[in-house]
Every structure is written in C-alpha cells, then in structure tokens.
Structure 1
Amino acid sequence: MRKLIPSWIRVIVIFFIIFGLTEFIIDSGEKPAFIEYPVVSLFLLLVMLILIAIEAIIGALENVMLLKLDEEAKARFLAEKETKYKFTWIKNIYKKLAGGKPIEEEAEIILDHNYDGIKELDNNLPPWWIWGFYASIVFAAIYLIRFHVFNGENQYDELETELADAKIAIEAYKKTAKNLVDVNTVTVLTDASDLSAGKTVFETNCIPCHMSDGGGGIGPNLTDKHWILGGDIKSVFKTISQGGRSGKGMISWKQQLKPLEIAQVASYVLTFQGTTPANPKEPQGNLWVDESTQQTTETNTTQIDSITTTN
C-alpha cells in the first residue's frame, strides 16, 4: 500500500479525515471550528507534521535497509512488498462487508429448494446492511428525542432566526445607505451636512423659480403655510421627485438628482417655513396643517379639558 499510494497523499487524506471529524464533533455553528478555535487548528497542524515526519523516517529506514541488501535480496524484498500490498486490503474489506461464505463452504448453507436445478443459499444479511440498519435505528432514536421530546430547533426556527437577523442587518445598512430613501421612508434631515448639501442643490437648480430666500417667483412661495401638493416631507419629496401638476407645475427631478439629494433639498425647503422673504409671493394652494401634529394637539387639549372639568 505504501508503494501504491504516495506518502504525501496518505498524509493529506488522514489530515482531512481528522479535520472533518473534529468539525463534526465540535459543531461550532456558522464559523468553522478551525477559525473559532485556533488551538484546534494548531493541534491538527502539529498532527500533520508528525505524520509527515513518521512517513519520512519510515522511508529513510527502508532506504537504509535496502542499501545493506544485495541485488537479489533487494529484488525479492520489493517483489514481496508489492505482492503483499497490491490491493489485498481492499479485497479483505470487501469480504468482511459482504459477509458471504466462500465457494468451498457453500454446501453448508444450501437449502432444500430446487427449481429446475436452481438452488438457494441461506446467506446471512451483509454486515454493512445490518450495521447500517442499526445506525438508522440509533439515528431515529436520537432524532425523536432531540426534536419531538425536547423540541429542538428545527429548520423553520433557523429560518425565522436568519430572517430576523437579515431584517436587523438591512435596517443597519439603511442607516448608512441614505441613497435607498424613497417617498415612503423619507424623513426630515436635520444634520448640518445634509442641510448644507440641500442648500447647494437648491441654489443650483431652484432659485430661478423660487428665489434664493424661498419667496417665490415663477414657482410658489415656500415660506408661508399654503401648499399646492402638501407641505410635509413626504409630499415635498414626491413633488420634487415626480414633478408638480401636469402641464403647469414643476418638472420631475428624479433623473437629475439622486434620492439622497432630493431628501436633502426637501429638508432644506422646509427650513424656509416661518421666515420672511424680501418679496413674498401671494399664497397659493391650501393652508397646510400637519395631521399628526393636529391630532396630537387635539388629544392634549381634550386631556387638559378633562382634567379641568374633573377639578
């Protein structure tokens, strides 16, 4: 066998067998055991080095022994070695796994049945089948106890855990990826850097219609409380992105501006509320009242009236 399989191949095979068994036994979760437990990696590396050293020593000893033999003895040794290890181990393993009787002994297990000269042997089940059957029984018992008695985590539980982790990861990513913002997720940006970027976009694209102070020109006044298409951040974002009223409103800017830039300029536009422009344009549209703020105010007023009545 040493002659048929090079030593370096045997060492690698043995190493990966140990590698797989260790990983299976430790079962450290998502990360491989050899990353989570560096000591295990060092131990297996040491084992591989020892195996290589043993192979080298055995090979060196054989070479020294061969040097001491004459040509005839050397040829006889190599011939015996090749004959001894020439796949006999595979044949022996096969015989043990098959478990059948040799042809010379089949007379002991011939049954009385005879069908046109065809007789039947009373062979036992092959050992590989029997041990496989026993292994399946052991596996079934462990599976039953693990998942049906102690309600162990199954693939559905693992899926739910992974989905929950994925949602958390997506939310964390969205916090750092502002360009994913859309009309449904946009919120008022208050950071100085965002407002400064929004001011730059406004001064580059919006001044011709709304004036630098938001007082309005061709476009409406942005400082009063009257809005044509809504005055909350979502409405302003949508108006900038998709444009105003068809045929007479503002053009769509979604081709020229990124979602983050639209959110920044929309937030900057809302900072004009309550300011006094130099030449304010007459109000256009309807008086805008934030429904959420109004509901909060009405609730607080109702609570105060209730407390006053009680007192």
Structure 2
Amino acid sequence: MKYFPSWIRVPFVFFIIFAAVEFFIDSGEKPAFMEYPVVLLFLFLVLLILIAIEAIIGALENIMLHKLDEEAKARFLAKKEHTYKFTWITNLYKKLAGGKPIEEEGEIILDHNYDGIKELDNNLPPWWLYGFYASIIFGAIYLLRFHVFDGANQYDELATELAQAKIDIEAYKKTAKNLVDVNTVTLLTDAADLSAGKTIFETNCVACHMADGGGGIGPNLTDKYWILGGDIKGVFKTVSEGGRSGKGMIAWKQQLKPLEMAQVSSYVLTFQGTTPANPKVAEGDIWENDNVKIETTTIEIDTTITN
C-alpha cells in the first residue's frame, strides 16, 4: 500500500471492511448498517481508526524529515512524489500500446511515399491482440455451450423466472388474504374467519336474511336453492357485485374488503342444512356439488287422436 496516497488507502480499506460486514451479516433487504445501528457505530469507529492511523503515519514522516539533512530530505520527497505518480500505470500503458518511441520510428519506416506521407510498419498493439484472442475463446465457448450442448438461453431463463414469479405470487396470496378475488377465493373454515364473517353478517345482512338465514326480503340461505350460485365463488361474487339488477342485493365491494367478503361468504354457507324458525319459500335452482341442477316438472300430454 506504500504506492498509494492516504486519500486512496483510507476509502479502499474502509470499502473492503464494509463489504465484509455486508457479506457476513444477513440483514434482509436493507443494508446491515441501516438494519442494525451497532454496525453503523462499528463502521464509524473503523473509519476514525483508519484516519487516525494515516494521521500518525503523516506525523511520523514529518518527524523523520526534520531529522534528515537537506539532501536526504530532497531524495525522500522526490521518491515519494515519484511513487504517487503511479508510474506503473504509465509503464503498463506503454506495454499494452506496444508502439515504438518517436526516436526509434526510423527503424520501421516503409519505403512507401505518398506525396510526402510515409507509413510505419507498426505491429498490432498487444491490447488489441489480447482482446481478439479473448473474443475467439469466448466465441468457441459460446458455440459449444449454446449450440452444441443446448444450454439455457435468455428465453429459458425468462420462462424459469416467470414460473418462479407465479409460484411466489401464489405463495404471497396465501398470506395476503385481502388480495383474494372471485377467481382465487376459497372456503374459509378457520374459527376466527367464521367468527368475523358472523359479525359482518349480523351487522349488514340480518335485515334481509334473518339471523338464522331463513330469509325475509332476501332469499332463504338454508336450503339447496340458489339464484346466483351456491358455491363459495358464486356467493362471493354475489356479495361483491350484488344480486339481480333492480331487485337484488346491493354490491358490497365498496363497503367490505376482499377478506371480509370471503369471511361473510364462508359464514353464509354454514347455514346449509340448518332449520330456520320461519323459512322463506325456496327460490332459484338446486345447487349440488358445485353444479346447478334445475328441477323440471314432467307434464304428460294425451296424444290420443279421436275420430
């Protein structure tokens, strides 16, 4: 590190320590120093220590300079300045460029002369050759990987990510019940959900359906007859969108959350098979096993022809 000045050493070392902290501490989506204040304090102390070390090094150098004679001091400062100029970068650039110094160009001048313009016989620069060779190696590996061994391409990766996204969305929906809709709603059987559904029913529905579900203004909820469907999806849709136009129940989707509609719909289905005090006459069609079965009456017609 002696080849780098302090304004490079301090940020570099601090970044290495910061990266190590982030790597070894699982802090979820937020950086570790935001999730844990102690980590922020630790990083702050590390930064102070690094600055203190650089200050001490600078102070020691100043003390040493005072003890040197003028000639030794000049040599030391010249060497330090030379070090901080990053001569290794300049040397590396010269090697990668591969060109001849101007003083030696006479050795590679070609005989061509175009109106006084001469041409140099320079070799291709090493950086170009290395890049060219690297592209050949990359092309060969790419050809084998994707065209010979049928490796996964971008379309395959996209399909995999989309499939995983669907799985993640479904898993999230299971914990985010308020995202439920008529296509994803399922019958809730948990006691807490049914209790919440009962509260919603008693608050909003008993005026039309009675507390025991026997029906009044609204239809009987205890029999097998349903006007708009008697499964959880049908009941949820009826609660959400409302009943028949002009004479049915209002749409509750503006007043109730999706989870609340799922809860009250599940509670409504618990009335099936119960005996209300004053059941209303059946309306609609028989609903069994999620299939609508319409009762029909067979009328026998006398087809005897009298002469």
User: After superposition, what is the alpha-carbon deviation per residue over 1:32-78, rounded to whole angstroms, capped at 9, x for unaligned?
Assistant: 97679xxxxxxxxxxxxxxx8x9999878855653431234313542
| Cα distance change, pair 130–16 in 1 and its aligned pair in 2 (3 A) | farther
Partner of 1:214: 213
5+ residue gaps, structure 1: 24-31, 37-51, 295-311
Measured after TM superposition, the shift of residue 256 of structure 1 is: 0.8
Identity %: 80
User: After superposition, what is the alpha-carbon deviation per residue over 1:94-116, rounded to whole angstroms, capped at 9, x for unaligned?
Assistant: 32222112222212111111111
- What are the within-5 Å matches in structure 2 for residues 166-185 of structure 1? 166-185=165-184
Partner of 1:49: none
| Cα distance change, pair 140–56 in 1 and its aligned pair in 2 (3 A) | farther
- Contact 2:285/2:292 (<8 A) preserved: no
More deviation in 112-121 or 163-172?
163-172
Select the structure that is richer in helix.
Answer: 1
Measured after TM superposition, the shift of residue 247 of structure 1 is: 1.3
| Cα distance change, pair 86–197 in 1 and its aligned pair in 2 (3 A) | closer
Partner of 2:38: none
- What are the within-5 Å matches in structure 2 for residues 15-34 of structure 1? none
- Contact 2:213/2:276 (<8 A) preserved: yes
Confirm whether residue 192 of structure 1 aligns to residue 191 of structure 2.
yes
Counterpart of 1:174 in structure 2: which amino acid? K
Measured after TM superposition, the shift of residue 121 of structure 1 is: 0.9
Partner of 1:236: 235
TM-score (norm 1): 0.73
Measured after TM superposition, the shift of residue 225 of structure 1 is: 1.9
5+ residue gaps, structure 2: 27-49, 294-307
More deviation in 249-258 or 277-286?
277-286
Aligned residues: 270
Distance 1:142 1:58 in 2: 50
Distance 2:13 2:179 in 1: 51
- Contact 2:179/2:258 (<8 A) preserved: yes
More deviation in 165-174 or 121-130?
165-174
- Contact 2:98/2:125 (<8 A) preserved: yes
Counterpart of 1:147 in structure 2: which amino acid? F
Measured after TM superposition, the shift of residue 191 of structure 1 is: 1.5
Partner of 1:297: none
Partner of 2:139: 140
Counterpart of 1:207 in structure 2: which amino acid? V
TM-score (norm 2): 0.74
* Backbone CA RMSD of aligned residues: 3.6
